[in-house]
Structure 1
Amino acid sequence: MILLDTWLNNPALQKALLPAIWETLQMVGISSVATVLLGLPLGVVLYTTAKGGLGENRALNAVLSGVVVNITRSIPYAILMLALIPVTRWLVGTSLGPLAASVSLAIAAIPFFARLVETALRDVHSGKLDAAHAMGSTKMQSVTKVLIPEAMPGIVAGITTTVVTIIGYSAMAGLIGGGGLGRLAYNYGFQRYELDVMAITIVVIVVMVQLVQWVGDLIARRVDHR
Structure 2
Amino acid sequence: MGILNRFSNLPEYWNTYARMFKNPLPKNFDELTFVVLDTETTGFDKIQDRILSIGALKLKNNQIHVDDIFDVYIEQKKFNEKSVAIHGILNNSKHNCTSEEFAIQKFLEYVGNNVIVAHHAGFDIGMINNALKRLGLPKLKNKCLDTGVLYKKTLIKSYLVQPQEHYSLDDLAEKYSISKKDRHTALGDAYITALAFVKILSKIKEKKVLSLKNLR
TM-score by shorter chain over 0.5: no
TM-score, normalised by the number of residues in structure 2? 0.25
Larger-Rg structure? 1
Answer 1 or 2: higher relative contact order, Cα 8 Å, separation at least 6.
Answer: 1
Task: Tell me the TM-score normalized by structure 1.
Answer: 0.24
> Larger helix proportion, structure 1 or 2?
1
